[in-house]
Every structure is written in structure tokens, then in C-alpha cells.
Structure 1
Amino acid sequence: MDSSTVVPFWGPSTSYLNFCEEDYVVTRFVAEFINTFSSLIFIIYGIYGLNQLRNKQQTGYRSVSYLGLIGVGVCSAGYHMTLKYHTQMSDELSMHLLTTPLLYRILTFQASPERTRLVGIVLSILFTIVMVVHMAMDEFVLHAVSFGLAVYMIATRTSKIIFQQVTDPTLRKKLRNISFFGIFCFGLGYSAWLIDEWACGFLINTRHAVGLPLAFLTELHGWWHILTAIGGYVAVALVDLVTTGELHEDPTEHLAWPLPLAARFIESQTGSWKQK
């Protein structure tokens, strides 16, 4: 489809960010086809997590983070489908709605009631400041830095809690491997995000040369969605496990794909390295 002759169903773009995927190439109803449908992986992981909670206790507050994953997927898909300013804001808001409850859970783990209330107040104030400044001033740096800092705090604090709470060395090692895999996915996804921006011209020329469906593989922002969805699910699942005391047995095989496969691969590689 020649995108230059397409009349967009959603009208002209009003978002101030537009990624390397060419707009309305596949259909006039979806601005960025791959970026839209790759966002659905967040929803899949969220639904899987909620399904795993069905037979567990106190699932109300535990479901919040999995609902956050679903929210990220819905808002991201809406943004890339329409390329409107308000859907862009909802996409960026959803990222903080995912990380803030996770921060609250790990920062209040085994904390006193006074500290718990203080953390809740501080996080609420910071969340409000970040989003008001971001939306009122079209300011992107504060949003990006605060999100990156939240991810860093979640990763480091979760690893520390695993070390403190898990006494079985084998189980601790497996959980740490899963944590490192999630961090690796975030890092690899961020690299794909940067390359998608820096090498956009080359990527577009490559897509035109190879044609569909192979051109879909060069949509690196879509890979960012997939990789960060995996990393986000790892964060949500591990925070849920370590803050609810459900670490009496190995939970690896109950986690969503590809975590069981990744855990076995990392374990085999570290075992081979030790033998050498």
C-alpha cells in the first residue's frame, strides 16, 4: 500500500513523537501496524499473571501490577494505532502506573505502618509532579529519567530482597538468573529503541528492499515492546513472589514463556563454565 495516497482513519497525527515505522502502510485503520500489535504482548503477560493468581490468597492488591501490564499494552496499542497526543499521554502515563505500585510494594516490604504511609504519600506526590509537568509542559526528559530510575530501583531492590529472604542457595540462584534475564531484556530492548531512532533511514531502505513480511523483522520499536514486556513481566512476577512469601519451592516452571527456557539455559551455561 502506498501510504502517500492513504486517508488515515484517525486523521492527521498530533503526537509529538513518531517512530521509524512508516505510517498507514498496511491499513488506513492502524497508523503503525507492528508497533500496535507488538504492544499486545503486555496484555498477554498481564492476563497470564492474573490467571496464575486465581487460586491464591489476597489476590486483590496482587492483581494491581498485572492489571498495570494490561494497561500498558492497551495504552501503547492505542497510541501507535492513532498517533494522537492524548493517546501518547495515556501511553506514557501507563508506564508510571505500572512502576509506581511495584516501587510501593518493594519499598514497604516488611516496613512499619508509619514508613508504609510515608512511602505511599511520597510516591503519590512524585507521580503527580512527573505527570503534571510532563503533560502540561510537553517535557519528555523528566518522564524518561523518572521511569528509568524506577526500573533501576525495582531491579536492584528486588535482587536485594531475594538475597535476604531466600535461604535455599539453589532457589536463590534461579531467581537471580531470572532477574538478570529480565534486566538483559530491558537493556536489549532499549538498544533496539535507540538503533530504531539512529538508523531509521537505513532501516526504511532495508524494508523497501526486502519487502513484506521480512520487513516486519526490522521494526525495532516493535522488538522494544516485546523485550520490555518480558522484562516488565519478570519484574511484576518477582516482586509479587518475594513480597508475598511464596518462595518455598521453585516457581520457575509456573512463570510465562520464555522464562522457564531462559532459566534452564542460563543454569546450563553457568554449569558448563564452572566445569571448565
Structure 2
Amino acid sequence: MLQLKVIMWKSLERGSSPVDWCEGNYRISPVIAEFVNTISNILFFLLPPLMMHLFRDYGRFVNPAIHVIWFFLIVVGICSAYFHATLSLAGQLLDELAILWLFLAAFTMFYPRRFFPAVLKNDRLCYLVNEILFIFLLNRQSIDKYYIKAFALIRIRNVLDIYFNSLFDRVKCPRTYRLGIRCACLWIFAVICWFNDRMFCDVWSAIHFPYLHAFWHVFVFLAAYTAAVLFAYFSVQDEKPEQAAILRYWPRDDFELGIPYVAIRCYTSTKPANTI
């Protein structure tokens, strides 16, 4: 027990994480390890409350659990900011865990019922319980083996990508298709920034711009919330087509570089048991 407490306290120490990004530590602030990487999480705090407002009809008439996605985006931002501010092992594990639970929420909410195992009898609540048990066991096994979480994140992301691509094979709305292209481009830009910051740090440091991981935060957030909007749109079309989902943009619907959201044309209330 004493040894476990020592390990826990050490995981809270600044710099205890084996991961360190390209940005120099404590160069801008004496109390924040990676200042730019920390403040680049600002979008995780600013946009989700707006998305909760824009998706108020979706949450009321289609699926109130959509707000769980926006909540977890805020949690990811908090954990990421804490990790980059301290570079502690606890911060790293919290960051990975928050991302894992965000993927779980999206996977459980948007995965089509037609792909459910027969044993679940098309019940999304049972599917949710099954996924929570899986994540719980994964966390138990990966407390001191954080690479297991990384592998799980990659696998879940690959499944979502395959599902995402299958959806776009039958897209008929040009506006939806363009938003999908935008989402894919944002994800590609994010990966390029992450890869360059990780693999070519010396090159970027030589030109005094070791901040590509901060751009990763910006691009990956934009890609993540855009993907959530698209999944929400397709979910209505698959399971509640009578609600007539419409893809719109804020603040102006004719400005497609704005913030996308899903509006509901037909307001038909749903039973609580079917809103998970």
C-alpha cells in the first residue's frame, strides 16, 4: 500500500511523464511547462457550450446524449491543458483516458444498430454497458502500461474511420459531402502537425518554431467536432428519418466556413428509452 502511494505521488510530480513535446519547457512561463501547447486547448473550452446551444433541438427531440460528446470535449481540453502545463505522468494518463472515454461515447451513440451483435438484441443500452465494461477492464490492465490505451485509441479510431467512409459512399447531399471533405482535410493537417512535431523537432527548433503540437490541438478539435456533427446527422437519417435532419451553419447558413450543426425539421418527441 505504501509503495502504491509513493508511485501515485510520483506520478503527480512535474516532468514525471516520459513524453515531452518539441516546445521548450518553462520558456514563456515559470509555472507552465509548455505554454503554447497549454493555451492552444482554448477551443475545447469555448466551442462545446455553443454546440450545446445549437444542438438543443437535437437533444430534445432526437437524442439528449449528444451533449455528452460536447461535455467530454471539455474534459479532454482540461486534461490536455493539465498535462502540457505539468508534463506529469498523471496528466498524461488523464489525457489519454479522457480521449478514450470520448471515443467510447461517440462509438456507443452513433454505431448503427444493424451492426450490433445478435446477442444484444438491437438494444443500445446493452451495447453501452458492454462497452463500459470493456473500457473498465482496459483501464485496469493499462494503469502502468499506457501503450495499451494508445493501441486501443488507434483501433477505435480505425473502426470509426471505416464507418465514416461507408457513410459517405451513399451521401446524396452536396453540402454534407463538402463538410466530410473539410473534416478529412482537418484530420490530415492535424496528423501532419503531430508527426512533424514528434519526428522533426530539431528541424522546427532550428527555425525557432517548435509549436506544431499546438496546431495539432487546433486541427484535431476542429476535425473531432465536425465528425461529431456528421455522425449526428447520419444517426438521424439511419434511425429516425422521420425527424428530417438538416445540416446548417452558424452564424450564417450560407457561409459554409462557419460552425456546422444539425437542425431538426420535424419535431416529434421520442421515448426516453430510445434516446441513448
Match of 1:42 in 2: 44
Match of 1:17 in 2: 19
Distance 1:15 1:82 in 2: 9
Q: Answer 1 or 2: which has greater helix percent.
A: 1
Q: Partner amino acid for 1:196?
A: D
Distance 2:105 2:251 in 1: 20
Match of 1:129 in 2: 137
CA shift digits 1:217-259 (9 cap, x unpaired): x4111111111101110121112222234884652424899x9
- Kindly tell me: are residues 183 and 125 of structure 1, through their superposed partners in 2, closer, same or farther at Cα, counting changes over 3 Å? farther
Q: Partner amino acid for 2:40?
A: S
Unpaired runs of 5+ residues, structure 1, are: 1-9, 208-214, 264-276
Which of 247, 253, 260 is matched with 1:251 structurally?
A: 247
Q: Answer 1 or 2: which has greater strand percent.
A: 2
* 8 Å CA contact retained: 2:249, 2:258: no
Q: Partner amino acid for 1:34?
A: V
CA shift digits 1:188-239 (9 cap, x unpaired): 21221111111112222221xxxxxxx4xx4111111111101110121112
Is 1:174 aligned to 2:175, yes or no? yes
CA shift digits 1:89-124 (9 cap, x unpaired): 111101011111111122244669723345324322
Which of 26, 29, 38 is matched with 1:27 structurally?
A: 29
After TM superposition, give the deviation of residue 186 of structure 1 in Å: 1.8
SS at match of 2:189: helix
After TM superposition, give the deviation of residue 14 of structure 1 in Å: 1.2
* 8 Å CA contact retained: 1:78, 1:87: yes
* 8 Å CA contact retained: 1:66, 1:236: no
Q: CA RMSD in A?
A: 3.0
After TM superposition, give the deviation of residue 16 of structure 1 in Å: 1.8
Distance 2:201 2:149 in 1: 23
Match of 2:256 in 1: 260
* 8 Å CA contact retained: 1:104, 1:123: yes
Match of 1:54 in 2: 56
Q: Partner amino acid for 2:95?
A: D
Distance 2:222 2:207 in 1: 27
Match of 1:184 in 2: 185
Percentage of identical aligned residues: 17
Match of 1:65 in 2: 69
* 8 Å CA contact retained: 2:187, 2:219: yes
After TM superposition, give the deviation of residue 262 of structure 1 in Å: 8.6
After TM superposition, give the deviation of residue 161 of structure 1 in Å: 4.1
After TM superposition, give the deviation of residue 66 of structure 1 in Å: 1.0
Distance 2:168 2:132 in 1: 26
Which of 226, 229, 237 is matched with 1:237 structurally?
A: 229
Distance 1:220 1:144 in 2: 20
Q: Which moved more, 1:155-164 or 1:59-68?
A: 155-164
After TM superposition, give the deviation of residue 127 of structure 1 in Å: 1.5
After TM superposition, give the deviation of residue 31 of structure 1 in Å: 1.0
SS at match of 1:157: helix
Unpaired runs of 5+ residues, structure 2, are: 1-11, 260-276
- Kindly tell me: are residues 249 and 122 of structure 1, through their superposed partners in 2, closer, same or farther at Cα, counting changes over 3 Å? closer
* 8 Å CA contact retained: 1:15, 1:84: yes
After TM superposition, give the deviation of residue 134 of structure 1 in Å: 2.5
Distance 1:105 1:255 in 2: 27
- Kindly tell me: are residues 261 and 37 of structure 1, through their superposed partners in 2, closer, same or farther at Cα, counting changes over 3 Å? same
Moved over 6 A (4+): 110-113
Taking structure 2 as the reference length, the TM-score comes to 0.75
Match of 1:143 in 2: 149
* 8 Å CA contact retained: 1:178, 1:262: no
Taking structure 1 as the reference length, the TM-score comes to 0.75
* 8 Å CA contact retained: 2:252, 2:258: no
- Kindly tell me: are residues 104 and 63 of structure 1, through their superposed partners in 2, closer, same or farther at Cα, counting changes over 3 Å? same
